[in-house]
Amino acid sequence: MALHHILVLALIQGLTEFLPISSSGHLVVTGKVLGWSDQGLAIDVAVHLGSLLAVLLYFWRDIWQLLAGVGRLATGRGGEPARLVVNLVVASLPVLIVGYFAKPYVESVFRNVEVIAWATIGFGLLLWIADWIGMTIRRIEHIGIASALAIGLMQIFALIPGASRSGVTMTAGRVMGMERSEAARFSMLLSIPTILAAGGLAGWDVYRAGDLRLGLDMAIAAGLSFVSAFVAISAMMAWFRRSGFGPFVIYRLVLGGALLWWVYSGAVPI
């Protein structure tokens, strides 16, 4: 795979994975517009690994709490760390179950520019409405199992490219009255089991196919994805501590409108 292809894809993956604008949608559109072939499972695994390392580093204090929570659960004790672990597990199950069985259908039906365009616009509007009506009175420690399950069910929509995993989970969090930065924080922590599952499944496919020859390409992709993802997370969390989702919604509406124009004008293939 050409080096500039790897650099562009890794940069896009890192910057868009955690912003509420859909990384999968951007990757599909980039390939369609530039006429590039699919980057392959090995590069997919590499960029997801880089993104995962970025979120683990940025939220290292939360990771220590989660590890403590696992230890408390293992010894039959409770507390805030243990409850957070349970909530993340409950919120992760719906998309992991549905994603496993729906994977072939999602990859064959939803990966086209028209679907991505409408999902980008529709779920962008939902994010704006949720941010407008949602109160800002709840933090992660106020979230119970029922709320975690509701966020997890909403995350199923992230299987549609353009919907955005972080976008739909932040939307659900805001509807429940979570502070913007707290909704983003829960969304980022929730990404860990999701990325692990997706990356693990793709990695297993790579192993079965024997496609491990791309060592240097994978290292470059992972490294750039890590750096760009860490920058994106840092900037987003700083923004949400003082402002709302407006810029992301506007970006989604403009992007979705442009994609619809391209599709219906016949400028790019669906």
Query: pLDDT tens digits, residue range 138-182?
Result: 899 999 999 999 999 999 999 999 999 999 999 999 999 999 999
Q: Does residue 269 form part of some domain? A: no
What confidence score (pLDDT) does residue 38 get? Answer: 64
Q: DSSP strand E in the chain: where?
A: none
User: 103-146, pLDDT tens digit by residue?
Assistant: 777 767 777 899 999 999 999 999 999 999 988 888 999 999 99
**Can you give the pLDDT at residue 203?**
67
Q: Express each pLDDT in 55-111 by its tens digit.
A: 999 999 999 999 999 998 988 888 888 999 999 999 999 999 998 888 777 767 777
**Choice between 42 and 244, residue whose per-residue pLDDT is larger:** 244
Residues 229 and 195: their CA atoms lie apart, in Å, by: 13
What are the tokens at 209? 């196919």
Does 202 have pLDDT greater than 70?
no
Per the domain annotation, does 10 fall within a domain? yes
Q: According to the model, what pLDDT value does residue 44 have? A: 74
Instruction: Report phi then psi at 178, rounded to 5.
Output: -75, 145
- Provide mean pLDDT across the span 199-214: 64
E-strand spans in 63-200? none
**Is residue 8, in this structure, part of any structural domain at all?**
yes
pLDDT: is 67 or 217 the higher one? Answer: 67
Domain of 218, in residue numbers: 3-264
Q: Which band of pLDDT confidence, cut at 50, 70 and 90, is reported for residue 212?
A: low
Nearest to 63 by CA among 73, 78, 53: 53
Region 27-48 average pLDDT: 77
Query: H-helix or E-strand containing 184?
Result: helix 180-209
The domain tally of the chain equals: 1
* Segment holding 198, helix H or strand E: helix 180-209
* 145: its two tokens: 């199992």
For the segment 219-239, the average pLDDT, to the nearest whole number, is 94
Environment class of residue 68 by beta-carbon count within 10 Å: exposed (0-12), middle (13-18) or buried (19+)? middle
Does a structural domain hold residue 53? yes
Residue 270 within any structural domain of the chain: no
pTM: 0.90
In a domain, 209, yes or no: yes
pLDDT value of position 209:
64
247 belongs to a structural domain: yes
pLDDT of residue 78: 81
- Model pLDDT, residue 200: 72
DSSP state of 1: -
Residue indicated by tokens 């506007």: 250
**How high is the mean pLDDT of the chain?**
88
For residue 90, tell me if it sits in a domain: yes
pLDDT at residue 137 in the model? 85
Which of the 8 DSSP states describes residue 138? B
Q: How confident is the model at residue 267 (pLDDT cuts 50, 70, 90)?
A: low
In this prediction, residue 182 carries a pLDDT of: 96
* pLDDT classification of 250: cutoffs 50, 70, 90: very high
Residue 221 pLDDT greater than 60, yes or no: yes
